[in-house]
Every structure is written in C-alpha cells, then in structure tokens.
Chain A
C-alpha cells in the first residue's frame, strides 16, 4: 500500500480546561476524499487548524507524504503542499477575482505571466470566467466560496483542506461545489473535507472519520459509519439510538 498523503498521529490540543482534541489519529490516502464529521464542538475545526498550521499541536505528529509538518507556520505548511479554505470566506476585498487567484501562484513561482495564465484558467475552471475583473467585495457569498477554493488551488497543493464549503448554499450551488471537488480529485489532489451537510458528505467522500468530544469514534465507509450506534449517539443522544440486530 502506498504511503498515505496525510498521516495524523496522536495529535492533541488543550485550551485551558478543555481538551479539544485528544490523541487523534487518521490517514488520508493519495487521491482520496476523506470526510471529517462530528457534532458541534467535537474538535473538527481544532484538528483542521492543527493540520493547516494555524494551531500548534500539544502532542503528536502530522506527516505529509512522510514529512512531519506539525507545528510549522501556515506559510510553510502551504509551501509543503497543503492548502485550505476558511469557514467564513476571507477574500482579498479590494482586489478583483484574477488578482485574488494570482496571489496563491506567487508561492510557487515568480513568473508573473505564468501565474496570470494559471489564474485565468482557474477562473474558467470555477465557472467565474466572466467575473474576472469583478472586485471580490462585490461577489455573492457562494462566488466568494468558489474564489477561496480557487485561490487555494493556485498554490498547487497535494492536499486540500475544505472547511464547510456548502454552508448556506442553495441545492444547485451545492451540486456545483460537489462537481468541482470531484474534478479537483480528478486532478490528483487529495481532499479532507469538514462538512455538516449529509448529502454532500455521503456523495463525495470515499471514507469518513467521526469525532466526538475530541476523540475519534468511527472510521470507514460513509454508509456504514453513519449507521453505527456510537455515531448516532454522538449526534442524537442515547435515547434515539436503537441497536440493530
């Protein structure tokens, strides 16, 4: 079996009196789409931020293709090959779409012409070809999400971390996003996606891992995991779980 693109080993994080993440371990295979699920407060965002370099793990390692990146600053993590989106999209407001997309390219090369070409290609890929000159502040919320995705992709990552990309999206927008993520995987990029919308997770993920109170409680195929009693208990509480024969 080939090395997984991402191997998280025993990461933990404590905030004051709260153990947000406890001894978490999982892997993301090359070319795989892994869903990260869990009820609110389960520690998904904390784990996410530790992998992306925005938080330093108290313990454990994060191996990207075998190299430990735990504790590295976000820009080094990006250069190593991990890109991320933000839950509340953070566009560069007074730059236009193309300029936003170009920013990511500068981390790989200094050739402005090539960067611009790639940005133009990316704009078309996102379906935003006609909005190239639009100022990011004037985009709709969903377009900003797409822009955020495109920006991350321009850094030529090997692993893409996506944080709730379809929150607040209409059904057709969600479908569009799902299609985009599939095409991204088709480009050879592995994806780790945190999501609440079940429909998206079920249709996209090859595998899911579920967190509850900072610990891993399930890991496997979406259809199987979702029916596991432990998972149901985490989401709905003990009363609503009926064990299946």
Chain B
C-alpha cells in the first residue's frame, strides 16, 4: 500500500470523521442530558440540508451563509419537538419507573413522520448544491486537503470546544449539566427543568443546522440521507462515549479513518458491515465507549 495513498486516505478520513463527530454532537448532548435516544437525529440533519439547499436554490444564498437561517430554524424546531411532543412523556414517566423505550419509540415516530413528509414533499430525487466559486485545496505537506471537509472538521472541533466551554462557564450551561446529573435535585434548586430540556434539544438540533449548511456544498441531498447519517451518528456516539462531547469528535475521527483506510482494502459494503460490527462490539464489550462515563 503506497504510503502516500494511505496517508491521503487517513488525513481525509480524519477530516470527514471530524464532520461525523460534529454531526453526532447533538445526539450525544441530548442523550447526556435528557437520557433520550433521539431516533430522529438523522431526520433533523436531512431537514437542515434541505433548508440550506432551498436557501441556495431560491434565495441564491451561499450554503455557508445559510447558517444564519438553518441554525435558528433548527433550534426552533428542536425546541418545539421537545416541548410539545417529548415533554408529556417525561412528565408522565416521573411518577413511575422511567421507561427509556417509550422515548425511543416516540422519537422513532418523529423519524417516520419527518422522513416521509420530506419524501412526500420533496420527492426521492437527489439534489445537489452547485458551488459557483472554487476553493483552493490547502496542502498538508504533499497531501491536498479537501477544503470543504477541512472547514467542516475545523467547525466540528471549534463547536465541540465552544460547547464544552459554554457548558462549564455559562449559567445556562451549568443548569444543563445539573439537570443532566440529577433532574429532581436541579428542579429543587430552582432550575426550570422543562425549559432546560427544551433548550438542550434546541441546541442539539441547532448544531445539526450548522452542519447541514456546512456539508451541503458537497453532500448529495435526498430524504434518505437522514437514515445514513443517523446510523453513523449512533456508531460515533457509542464509540466515543454517550454523553461525552470530546468523545464525539474522537469517535467520529476513528470511524472516519477506519472507513477511509478500509475502503482502500475492502469493499464499501464490507466497510459498512465493519462499522456496524464495531458498533455491536463496543456495546457488548465497552459500552461507555472510548471517553464516556457509564
């Protein structure tokens, strides 16, 4: 295996992996705080991709600029979904033993609705954003770096750092962390728990909004893209550790590199099976992932 080709694969795998990590951040955050496995995670990404696309195709807005639309729009959607659909469940479960399966089923319902409404509204055709300008590829030594992926990966790292910092330093961030650790104690300390939940869900979706805009320049857009990214996000989050933000980025990069290197040696199918197999193995052997706490 030519070392240049291998290093090219690894480097671009790291970049793409960073993007996977960024996409998975919302999932990890939502699970860490609400203990809800958001089955509809991929669907939200799919929606933000479409928003970015329509911004470009109808308003002539460059996908990177469409961030100003996607982020608030997705935050609002996430906030709405949590406060209207999911919170009745959490309120009901308080009295009895918490049943995480109900949350999974509920978000599965959201997934079915969103993905298929998109299918009905937009049709199954694949669309793509055509960039009308050219970004130069910076070089890492003798390896060309894909500029769009580089932007995405850098954004992922920045968002992860920023989010971690914000969670630790800001008042809202502290409230979120407190609620994540002990919902009842947080409520007793004066924290408006439903509001915290809604904000957290909103942030999780807003991050997806950001990344939707960032990957729109190079990702084919169709209703089924949600499922693919959803599955990938789950693998990343489990690998990196559910609830761990740095774990997401690390997990994402591991998957990215694994896929890039594997696809040089084995078919894409086998690589997909390999990722799934890795996912199962982690769950069975080390469920807290690389960096998670159990």
Contacts from A to B (Cβ < 8 Å): 93, 137
How far, in angstroms, from A93 to B96 measured CA to CA in the complex?
10
How far, in angstroms, from A137 to B97 measured CA to CA in the complex?
10
Chain B residues, CB < 8 A from A137:
96
Chain A residues, CB < 8 A from B97:
93
Chain A residues, CB < 8 A from B96:
93, 137
Can you list 3 A-B pairs with a CB-CB distance of less than 8 A?
A: A93-B96, A93-B97, A137-B96
With both beta carbons as reference points, the residue of chain A lying nearest to B97 in the complex is identified as A93
Write the nearest CB–CB distance from A212 to chain B, whole angstroms.
31
How far, in angstroms, from A93 to B98 measured CA to CA in the complex?
12
How far, in angstroms, from A159 to B94 measured CA to CA in the complex?
36
How far, in angstroms, from A9 to B256 measured CA to CA in the complex?
55
A-contact bits for B190-206, CB 8 A (1 contact / 0 none): 00000000000000000
With both beta carbons as reference points, the residue of chain B lying nearest to A90 in the complex is identified as B97
How far, in angstroms, from A112 to B97 measured CA to CA in the complex?
30
Write the nearest CB–CB distance from A178 to chain B, whole angstroms.
30
How far, in angstroms, from A93 to B97 measured CA to CA in the complex?
9
How far, in angstroms, from A137 to B96 measured CA to CA in the complex?
8
Q: Which 3 A-B pairs have the closest CB atoms?
A: A137-B96, A93-B97, A93-B96
Write the nearest CB–CB distance from B15 to chain A, whole angstroms.
41
Write the nearest CB–CB distance from A15 to chain B, whole angstroms.
16
With both beta carbons as reference points, the residue of chain A lying nearest to B95 in the complex is identified as A137
How far, in angstroms, from A195 to B131 measured CA to CA in the complex?
74
**B88-125 interface with A by 8 A CB criterion:** 96-97
With both beta carbons as reference points, the residue of chain A lying nearest to B96 in the complex is identified as A137
How far, in angstroms, from A137 to B95 measured CA to CA in the complex?
11
Write the nearest CB–CB distance from A138 to chain B, whole angstroms.
11
How far, in angstroms, from A65 to B182 measured CA to CA in the complex?
45
Write the nearest CB–CB distance from B100 to chain A, whole angstroms.
16
Write the nearest CB–CB distance from B98 to chain A, whole angstroms.
12
Chain B residues, CB < 8 A from A93:
96-97
**B206-229 interface with A by 8 A CB criterion:** none
With both beta carbons as reference points, the residue of chain B lying nearest to A137 in the complex is identified as B96
How far, in angstroms, from A57 to B3 measured CA to CA in the complex?
54
How far, in angstroms, from A137 to B99 measured CA to CA in the complex?
14
How far, in angstroms, from A36 to B141 measured CA to CA in the complex?
72
How far, in angstroms, from A58 to B97 measured CA to CA in the complex?
33
Write the nearest CB–CB distance from A144 to chain B, whole angstroms.
13
Write the nearest CB–CB distance from A88 to chain B, whole angstroms.
11
How far, in angstroms, from A114 to B90 measured CA to CA in the complex?
42
Write the nearest CB–CB distance from B48 to chain A, whole angstroms.
40
**B144-198 interface with A by 8 A CB criterion:** none
**B56-94 interface with A by 8 A CB criterion:** none
Write the nearest CB–CB distance from B94 to chain A, whole angstroms.
14
